[in-house]
Amino acid sequence: MATDSAGQSAPLRVESSGSETILALSGTLDDAAVALCWSRALGAARTSQGPVRVDCARVDSCGGAGFALLVALAEMAEERKQSFVVDGLAPQFRSMYDGIDRSKLGQAETPQREKYGPVASVGQAVADRAAEWREETEFVGEVGVGLAGLGREPRRLRLREWWVMVEKAGTNALPIVALISFLMGMIMAFQAAMPMRQFGVDLFVVNLVALAITRELGPLMTAIVLAGRSGSAFAAEIGTMKVNEEVAALTTMGLSPVRFLAVPRVLAGIVVTPVLTVYSMAIGVAGGLAVMMMLGFPLATLMHQLSGSLRVDDVLAGLIKSFFFGAVVAGVGCLRGLQTGAGAAAVGDSTTRSVVTAIFLIVLLDAVFAVIYYQLKF
């Protein structure tokens, strides 16, 4: 289509008469036609030795792309200090073309954005981090005060909304927690049974699974699942409220967003996580026992081994942790939600941050508990 031969549909013909270069355009100059001839037209103008004339006598209609082509040719000619004319353009397109103010096209303002040098950016980062710590400390304090306030005045809890939070974070998490815990117990039992069988101690896999699940993996896996599905949901929900100025509305009504939004969610986290953790422990151990039964141990033997090895202390050790994990997961979700900036991307950012921070803090807290329990010989 885009040939120099006088094909019917060619939108551009390049001719020269004397030193003058003539670009004859024809047909409908829409984006498809202009895309075909753009580089050839500009190429011809770039190599022209004299004045450039664009002949538009056979142009039926001219769209935005056509005008862009004419403007680009005009700019090119101006740059090369050659005379440039457009003729034959139908009157209605002529007036549109004349309406384009080329002098202003090149001069877009550069928006003023603050740019820091290396030293200043380090300083800014430190100041930002300090402000964030302050904010986080205030948040922890305010949630604490809010929870204590609820203890004194339980009626201030909006029970119906709170119940929905408990249902979403707790009841609805049952299937996934069950699945993960059961598989976790199975995998652990299976992996341990093979090497331990070589020493003839494969019955002790029960001890191993029971201890690991109740003390560590039950609480940990539950908390991580909750960070992924509930903490992030809190962050996205509160983040969207912040973007929609609902958080600002609470503030101007004299209600503290932390007490109104975060405290009930943290309370829900604290209530729900231990329940889910115990559930996860039971199912995890059941998963381990299932594998042992597949390996040929009778259930009675396994139960006897289990009751002989598992102490209440082990379950308690896991349970105590889970209260803190619940508070951390819900608290981090709410905090990241409240820290959301402006725009749609900010909600995504705070959701990501809530999950990352929550998982990091859970693992950190777990390490702290390991040290404490060791010191207490618990």
Partner 1 sequence: MQEEKIIEVRRLSAGYAGRTILSDVSFDVRQGEIFIILGGSGSGKSTLLKNMIGLYPAMSGEVLIRGENMIGAVGAVRERLLRQFGVMYQGGALFGSMTLAENVALPLEECTRLPREARALLARLKLQQVGLGQFADYLPSETSGGMVKRAAVARAMALDPGILFLDEPSAGLDPITSAELDELIRALSRDYGITFVIASHELASVYAIGDRAILLENGGIAAEGSPVQLRDNPPNDYVRAFFRREPERARAA
**Interface with partner 1 (CB under 8 A), residue from 38, 190, 234, 369:** 38
Q: Which stretch binds partner 1 (CB under 8 A): 63-71, 124-132, 144-152, 186-194?
A: 63-71
Q: Is 115 in the site for partner 1 (CB under 8 A)?
A: no
Considering only residues 314-353, where is the footprint of partner 1 by CB under 8 A? Answer: 342-345
CB 292 within 8 A of CB 188: no
CB-wise, 31 or 135, nearer to partner 1? 31
Report which of 208, 378, 217 is spatially closest to residue 302, judged by C-alpha positions.
208
Burial (CB < 10 A; 0-12, 13-18, 19+), residue 318, is buried
In angstroms, the first-to-last Cα distance of the chain is 84
The residue within the footprint of partner 1, chosen from 104, 115, 152, 155 (CB under 8 A), is 104
Tokens describing residue 135: 């904010």
User: Residue 80 CB: number of other CB atoms within 10 A?
Assistant: 13
Dist. CA 65–CA 306, nearest whole Å: 78
Of 154, 377, 188, 156, nearest in space to 281 by CA:
188
Element (H, E) at 128: helix 118-152
Cα 246–Cα 261–Cα 340 angle in degrees, nearest 5: 60
Check binding of 2 to partner 1 (CB under 8 A).
no
Residue 34 in contact with partner 1, rule: CB under 8 A:
yes
Q: Does 100 bind partner 1 (CB under 8 A)?
A: yes
How many whole angstroms separate alpha carbon 277 and alpha carbon 223? 8
Q: Which stretch binds partner 1 (CB under 8 A): 65-73, 126-134, 255-263, 289-297?
A: 65-73
In the complex, the smallest distance separating the C-beta of residue 64 from partner 1, rounded to whole angstroms, is 5
Distance of alpha carbon 63 from its chain centroid, rounded? 40
Q: Check binding of 101 to partner 1 (CB under 8 A).
A: yes
| Locus of tokens 């457009």 | 86
CB nearer partner 1, residue 106 or residue 296: 106
175 counts as binding partner 1 under rule CB under 8 A:
no
Shortest CB 50 distance to partner 1, Å:
24
- For the bound state, the minimum distance from the C-beta of residue 251 to partner 1, rounded and expressed in Å, comes to 22
Query: Among residues 4, 15, 32, 191, which is the contact residue for partner 1, using CB under 8 A?
Result: 32
Interface with partner 1, residue 375, by CB under 8 A: no
**Which residue of 2, 71, 147, 203 would you call a contact of partner 1, by CB under 8 A?**
71
- Residue 29 or 225 having the CB closest to partner 1: 29
Q: Which of 5, 17, 18, 108 binds partner 1 (CB under 8 A)?
A: 108
Q: Total binding residues for partner 1 by CB under 8 A? A: 32
Which of these segments, 51-59, 97-105, 155-163, 246-254, binds partner 1 (CB under 8 A)? Answer: 97-105
Does residue 105 interact with partner 1 by CB under 8 A?
yes
**Residue with token string 């749609």:** 344
Say if residues 36 and 3 touch (Cβ distance below 8 Å). Answer: no
| SS3 at position 19 | coil
DSSP string, 22-45: EEEEEEEESHHHHHHHHHHHHHHH
CB of 247 to partner 1, least distance (A): 19
Interface contacts to partner 1, rule CB under 8 A: 30-32, 34-36, 38-39, 63-65, 67-69, 71-72, 95-96, 99-101, 104-105, 107-111, 342-345
